[in-house]
Amino acid sequence: MSKLKKTLTKDAGLKLLSLIIAVCLWFLVINIENPTEYRIFASNIDVINISSAEAAGKTITNLEEIKNTRISVRLRGKRTVLDKIQINRSFSAYIDISAIDMSDDLISAKLPVKIKTGLLASDYVDTEFLTTSEVNVLLDNNISMDFDIMPVFNGNIENGVTLSVYNMEPGIVKVYGAQNEVNKIAEVRADIKLDSPYDGQKVTSAVNAYDFEGNIVENVYIDTETTVATIDMKIKKRVPVMASYIGEPVRGCTVEGISISPDYVVITGSPDVINDVSYVTLPEININLSSKDVVQNFDISQYLPYGASVTNGYSGVVVTVNIEGSEEHNVIFNSGNIEITNLEDTLRANIVDGSFDIYVKGDNFNKENLKYSVDLKGLDVGEHRVKIDIGLNEGYELVGEAPYANVVIEPNNSSNNFGRIENIGDDLN
C-alpha cells in the first residue's frame, strides 16, 4: 500500500501539470471542431389552439395575416446543435390562442411569439434576436345569417331568350363567420353557366357570397357549396294583331279600313307555346247600321294561348273600323205634302201620284225640315210630268235625282175662282 502511494505521489507536480495540459487540449479540440456560433432561422407564425376561440363563439379575423407573418430569429449555440436544427427543419414560431381569456368581451389581444427548436434539453441554445416578439390578435363574434340564393346566368344565351329559375334546391343558405365579414355580404349568388340552354334543364352551380361592390367575400362559411337550378326558358316573338268586322254600315256609309294600335305585340312564353303562334286574332267587331267610326278596346292577353304573355306588361289594343260618308235617310211623302206654285188663276191642278220615295243625307236629320213643291209656271191645260223641287236645309243633301210628279191641269170653273184645286192624298209618313 505504501509502495502504491509512493508511486502515485512521485512526481506529483509533473503529473498535475500533464492533466491540466490534457484538459486544455481537450477543450481546444472541442472548440476547434464544434465551436459556438450564431445562426439566423426564419419561419411563418403557426397559430395553435384556435378551437379555444371557436368554442367561445369568436373568430380570429386577422388569422391569415398572422399566418403569413414572417419572423427571423438569431440563435446562439454549438455548431452541431445548430446543424441539427437546420437539418431536421425543426425550427418554428407560434402563438397560443388558449392564452387569451375568452371570458372577456375582447376585440383584440397581444400574444408573445414563441419558438420551438425540436432539441433535447441537453442541446442548449440562446435566443439572441427575434424580429417580431408579439402579435396583435383581432377577435370578432361569430354569427350566422340566412340568404336567398340569387341566380346569375352566364354563357351562350341567344337574343330573344329570357331565362329564369323555376326551382332551386336549396334556395336558401346559411352563412357563418365573423360578424364584420357576414355584414359585408350583399347577396349570395348561384353562378349558372349555360351553353345552349333548354326549358326544364337542371344545372348544378357553385354558390358564393358577394359584397356590395361585386367582390367575393372569402372569410365566411356557406353551409352548401352548390345548388341545383331548374331552368325556365322563355322566348320572345313579335306577332301581328288581326281584326275584322261583321255587319254593314247604314246606307250612304262605307268601311274605308281598319286601324289597329298597336298592330303587333311582342309575346313571350316557353318555346313549345310561342313557336306555334303566327298572329293574334281578335273577336269580330259589329258595325251593323253604324254611321261613324266604331272604336273598341281589347285586352289582348285574353286572346293569347295558355302560357303566353305580353312582354311589356301592357296588353291594351285599340281597333278602329273607319266608316266614311253620311247616313242616307229614307223619306216617304205623298202628294198632299207638295206645294203647287206659279199656277194661273184660271186653272186648277191635281197631282195624280199618291206617294214618293227619296233619300237625304245629313246629320241630326229631321224630316219636318224638308219642303216639297212643283213649279207649274207656263203650263196649260193637260197632263204634265213635273220634277218635284225638294227644299233642303243647310247640311242636307239629296241622294240621286228628285222624283217627278204627274200633274193634271184643268180649267178652273169654280165660282170662287181661286185658281187651284187642293191636292188629294194622304201623308204616308
Q: Which of 248-264 are b and which e, b meaning 16 or more Cβ less than 10 Å from the residue's Cβ?
A: ebbbbbebeebebeeee
Alpha helices by DSSP H, listed for 161-275, are: 179-182, 271-274
The string of pLDDT tens digits covering residues 297-323 is 999 999 999 989 898 777 899 999 999
What's the pLDDT score for residue 88?
Answer: 87
Bridge partners, 143 (sequence order): 177
Across 2-16, 223-237, 341-355, least confident range: 2-16
95: its cell numbers: 402563438
144: its cell numbers: 350566422
**With DSSP H G I counted as helix, E B as strand and the rest as coil, what are the percentages for the chain, rounded to 5?**
15, 50, 35
Pick one of 1.10.10, 2.60.40, 1.10.1060, 2.170.120 as the CATH number of 36-132.
Answer: 2.170.120
Q: Which of 293-314 are b and which e, b meaning 16 or more Cβ less than 10 Å from the residue's Cβ?
A: ebebebebbeebeeebebeeee
Distance of CA 306 to the CA centre of its chain: 22
User: Is a pLDDT exceeding 60 seen at residue 29?
Assistant: no
What's the pLDDT score for residue 414?
Answer: 59
What's the pLDDT score for residue 18?
Answer: 64
User: Which class does domain 243-325 fall in?
Assistant: mainly beta
User: Is a pLDDT exceeding 90 seen at residue 149?
Assistant: yes
The string of pLDDT tens digits covering residues 102-120 is 876 778 899 999 988 888 7
Closest CA to 399 of 251, 219, 239: 251
C-beta of residue 277 within 8 angstroms of C-beta of residue 258: no
Q: What is the mean pLDDT of residues 174-185?
A: 92
What's the pLDDT score for residue 294?
Answer: 96
Domain 329-411 falls under CATH 2.40.110.20: no
Concatenating the DSSP letter of every residue in 60-100 gives ETTHHHHHT-EEEEEEEEEHHHHHHHHHHT--EEEEEGGGS
What's the pLDDT score for residue 66?
Answer: 94
CB within 8 Å of 101: residues ≥ 6 apart = none
User: Is a pLDDT exceeding 50 seen at residue 94?
Assistant: yes
What's the pLDDT score for residue 102?
Answer: 84
Distance of CA 308 to the CA centre of its chain: 17
> How high does pLDDT run on average in the chain?
85
User: What is the spatial distance between Cα 401 and Cα 5, in angstroms, rounded to a whole number?
Assistant: 180
User: What is the spatial distance between Cα 151 and Cα 79, in angstroms, rounded to a whole number?
Assistant: 63
Task: Tell which CATH architecture fits domain 142-235.
Answer: Beta Complex (2.170)
User: What is the spatial distance between Cα 239 and Cα 196, in angstroms, rounded to a whole number?
Assistant: 25
CB within 8 Å of 55: residues ≥ 6 apart = 102
Q: For the chain, what percent of residues have pLDDT higher than 90? A: 49
Fill in the DSSP letter of residue 278: S
The string of pLDDT tens digits covering residues 402-429 is 999 999 999 987 544 434 444 444 443 3
On whether the pTM is more than 0.75, the answer is no
The CATH 2.170.120.40 domain(s) of the chain lie at 142-235, 243-325
CA angle 360, 363, 365 (to 5 degrees): 60
The string of pLDDT tens digits covering residues 383-402 is 999 999 999 888 888 999 99
Between residues 189 and 22, the one the model is more confident about:
189
User: Is a pLDDT exceeding 50 seen at residue 173?
Assistant: yes
- For residue 197, name the pLDDT band (cuts at 50, 70, 90): confident
What's the pLDDT score for residue 16?
Answer: 64
C-beta of residue 375 within 8 angstroms of C-beta of residue 341: yes
Q: What is the mean pLDDT of residues 334-348?
A: 92
User: What is the spatial distance between Cα 392 and Cα 403, in angstroms, rounded to a whole number?
Assistant: 15
